[in-house]
Amino acid sequence: MIKLLFVFFSLLLICDPGFCAAAPAKSKIAVKKTVKKRKTPAVKTYYNARFVKGGWKMSDWEMVRSWRFDHDAKFLQLEKCIQNKVPEGVSDQDLQGKKGSEGYAIMLLKQKFRGNAVISCTMEFDYRMAPGIIISTEPVKYGKDKLELREHFEVILYDDGLNLWHHYFEKGKPGSKDKRVIRSGVEQKWRKNCYLLEKKFYKAKKPYTLTVSIKNTARGAQMEISCGGRTIGCYLPDMFKGEYRIGLVGCEGRNRFYDFKVTNR
C-alpha cells in the first residue's frame, strides 16, 4: 500500500511541476520620474509704434533737455519717419562739430519700466553720427514745464561702431562759475562702459535696427547690444535699481527714426 502511494505522488509531481514550485516573484513596475519644466514667460509687448503719421502718439512721449545744452529740441514728422530738428543751412560737418548741440534732441516714453526689457529701434544717420537709445532714471523738472535728464545710459550708433555711455552726476564744486552748476547744483560726468570699433562699418543713410537687451542676473545687470549683425555686451554693476525710463536721442547730425518697440524679453 505504501509503495502504491509513493508511486501516486511521484506521478503527480511529474504531471504538475507547479505543484511544489516556488511562488513567482512580484514583477518590478518601472516608476517614471516627472520633472516639472519651468514655463518661459510669454512675450509681452509694452510699446510698439511706427513713426509715420497716425502710427504713433506724441502724447505717449515727453521731450527732455540735456543738462549739457541750453537747448529745447524737437522732432520733425517726415513721411516715413521722424528726424531731430536742426538749423537750416548748417553743414553736416558743423553739426558734428561746433554746432552739434543745436540738433541734440531727446524724448522719453512716459511709461515706466522695471526689470528685464528688450528695446529695438530702426534708425539711420547722415554723414557720420549719432542716433541712439536712452535708458534713464526719472528726469527732473527744469523751469515751469520742462524736464532735464539726470543719470542715464546712451547706446549710440555711428559709422565706426557702437558705444555704450554712462552719464552720471556729481555734486557741483563750490565756487564753480559754470552756469549749469550754479543753476542745478550738480555736474554731469560720463564714461564709456563698452564699445564696438569697426571703421566705416555702418553706412550713412542706411536704416539699421539697434537692439538693446537688459537682463537682471545673479551677477547683476547685463546689457547686450546688437546692430547690423554685430553684438557686444557687458555687465553693469552701476546700473540703477528700480524703475527706469526708455527713449531715443538724435545728436551730432541729422538722425531719422522709423519705429520703436519694447518687450519683456
* CATH fold of 47-263: Jelly Rolls (2.60.120)
- Cell numbers that stand for 223 in this block: 546689457
| Other Cβ atoms closer than 10 A to 131 | 28
Q: What is the pLDDT of residue 35?
A: 60
Provide the percentage of residues in the chain whose pLDDT is more than 90: 67
Residue ranges covered by each domain of the chain: 47-263
> Which residues, 6 or more positions from 10, have their beta carbon under 8 angstroms from its beta carbon?
none
Q: What is the pLDDT of residue 71?
A: 81
State the amino acid at position 254 in one-letter form: R
pLDDT tens per residue across span 105-119 = 999 999 999 999 999
**Global pTM?**
0.83
What CA–CA distance (Å, rounded) separates 105 from 73?
5
* Start-to-end C-alpha separation, the chain: 93
- Cell numbers that stand for 155 in this block: 547706446
pLDDT tens per residue across span 71-118 = 888 999 999 999 999 888 888 888 888 777 788 999 999 999 999 999
pLDDT tens per residue across span 118-130 = 999 999 999 988 9
